[in-house]
Chain A
């Protein structure tokens, strides 16, 4: 959307506002899905607490940066002091480009590109604001199909015949569609890889939108979020840096884990092609591929060798000397000399305020 169009859209959005936060053109259910992007950092709904970001109940009408007990950035507090209240317009502006609407905000979130998503999201958030539509939504968005069934008679044994499998004949046959819905794991030999492809450059876009806010622009890790790149040759150092490039033995693990659990808080949003692309980009960030045009696909996936693959071996603790000693453990005069303290607890205040 061009800047011009965006302004119009915002104006329209603002125009539909008349004291109520509920938006005519936003879909609450769709908004709940968009909110997955925020969930890692924000809670909303009954009992919502501050997480990495403040809780978002009664957001509409809230002065920016005003939740007691949450540590906002100076920038957000200043925004509130300037008189910014959260409403349809200010939220739309903030959520499309957090860093430009509040310069210096500590919310590390790239922004939502699609106006429609913002509309839906705000309709959803509006349901948790007293000024908005107060009917909270309860609709399910999961991949479960049987959520509304009252009790656990789920086994839909349509042809009422008793099953004959196994010893106890318990459970019912899983359908192919059901297995396909849940079976997404990928093995080192490539089993489980879906058809798909993506280039380093495409992966960069995915990464910037979905990953960089936590893992840093170059995989260096923002704040305390995990480091994804670098560390090659550091495994014998005093402070080894274990990353995809320096440590991970299999590329399949990257694909599998990203589609399974990332981006943190909005798992499963990426398409198969996007996962291929971002995996290619992670290879590039780790200097395992160097060509920006490189395309990773289910066809060439198995040709990628991970640099540290050979350096894993099976558990051999049983061979360690301390487990091999056959002698009875010493009971008397086991050590010479008086006992001396050689190391003391480094962190003393680990127990938070005992009185509460």
Chain B
């Protein structure tokens, strides 16, 4: 999400604007949306009834594959469109780039491992766990080296946390930009980690009284590093080796990664290989050149670690338009906060004039996403959908304009402004901002 990417996106925008907005949207919905979803409603083609009932389907008569033909199962071929996608022109090279989670296709709170968004700086390190070590040194009594097997002998914990890139929604600072929740909000995933407390591992080496900071480093080609204050390290960080029950995926840091609950994703070092203990921050490239927030006065905030309270409606959204016409409509979305649990989500269907509390369903964990629903009868008139999350510390998700009023439009990171989706009469949905 650098300046050039943004400039490029603006340039693209000009071209796109002239290309016939409505016709484009319609086509993409009809071609993509409907084909992927299949029948929208069960309407009989003839008086006697529907063919899918009256005629036998192959899968009713023919035997299917036996067990073992799919030793590691994959989704139905009809779900092949549910994938991570990237935006090619955002970065110079896919090796240091980002792909986005298909939020519009998911439900519940858990992100399936295969579609968790990716952000790498030197590609995916393919690490042989037998050749992987974790080293702890610096201001410690005993510098130590651990294997993965060593690590698994510490007491384990299971926790569900969201991981959000600080640049999530970063393209939207200047105004509505990308037409899809996958791209506006897809730099987040939420999985259950199994791991061990960073605190336990640090205690094993014995932290010296002067120790105030950690430098954590990955073993990939970018040797990604961040400084982490000791307070956080001793509080709730984990070194995880499993996600959703299975080994971390290579693109998520196999064989081990850091979990820094509620804090920006860049700090959750993947392929973790080294922890240095020190008494001041290291001021690495990822906490100076990047992940600092430029303000209108030309100065910049640094160490803006915590992710703010935020929510978004995942359906309807531009990639998940309303294809069934008026009547019952399930509005569904995600809410989260780096401060803890989400206590309430309000939804507006009239662009923020009136709000009603949505129903949060499913487990509510601290620093995890929450799933919310609002079930309405849609009268077929345009909708201006918004959601607003409130967390247990009573932080209220702000409007984009409120953020811009303080931060201008060049801070790239930490855009947690309220998103608006415009649902037209025909159900086509678009990323907009409203008065």
Contact = CB atoms under 8 A, between A and B. Distances in A.
A267 B123 CA distance: 13
B272 to A, nearest CB: 12
7 contacts: A185-B215, A236-B298, A242-B289, A253-B285, A321-B402, A339-B352, A344-B21
A345 B177 contact: yes
Contacts of A2: none
Interface in A271-319: 311-317
Interface bracket on B? 35 or more
Contacts of A154: 130, 133, 145, 147
Contact of B145 (A178, A240, A322): A178
B423 interface: no
B434 interface: yes
A172 B204 contact: no
A333 interface: yes
A182 B219 CA distance: 10
B176 A248 contact: no
A174 B206 CA distance: 14
A348 B283 contact: no
Main secondary structure of the interface of A (DSSP, over half): loop
B190 interface: no
A72 to B, nearest CB: 18
Interface stretch (A78-86, A88-96, A112-120, A143-151): A143-151
Nearest to B355: A331
A315 to B, nearest CB: 4
Contact of B288 (A173, A183, A250): A250
Given A178-B145, A224-B8, A311 B299 contact: yes
Nearest to B422: A341
A165 interface: yes
Interface string B129-151: 11101011100011111111111
A343 B417 CA distance: 15
Contacts of A52: 93
Interface string B177-189: 1111011000000
B392 to A, nearest CB: 14
Contacts of A151: 130
B354 A333 contact: yes
A311 B298 contact: yes
B301 A313 contact: yes
Contacts of B422: 341
B308 interface: yes
B142 A315 contact: no
Interface in B231-290: 273-274, 276, 278, 280, 282-285, 288-289
Given A236-B296, A313-B301, A322-B402, A346 B32 contact: no
Contact of A316 (B154, B301, B403, B433): B301
Nearest to A145: B131
Contacts of A182: 135, 217, 273-274
B210 interface: no
A332 interface: yes
B91 A224 contact: yes
A310 B399 CA distance: 31
A337 interface: yes
Contact of B278 (A152, A187, A352): A187
Given A170-B153, A260-B223, A315-B301, A350 B142 contact: no
A350 B183 CA distance: 8
Contacts of A247: 289, 300
Contact of B28 (A257, A314, A354): A354
Given A240-B294, A250-B288, A149 B135 contact: no
Interface residues of A, number: 96
B353 interface: yes
B94 interface: yes
Nearest to A180: B137
A52 B309 CA distance: 38
B390 to A, nearest CB: 7
B399 to A, nearest CB: 8
A15 interface: no
Interface string B62-95: 0000000000000000000100010101011111
A342 B305 contact: no
B303 A314 contact: yes
A226 to B, nearest CB: 7
A231 B110 CA distance: 43
Contacts of B10: 346
A189 interface: yes
Contacts of B434: 339-342
B40 interface: no
B175 interface: yes
A334 interface: yes
A264 interface: yes
A224 B222 contact: no
B144 A174 contact: yes
Contacts of A349: 16, 19, 24, 28
Contact of B292 (A153, A224, A312, A344): A312
Contacts of A51: 93-95
Contact of B17 (A152, A167, A346): A346
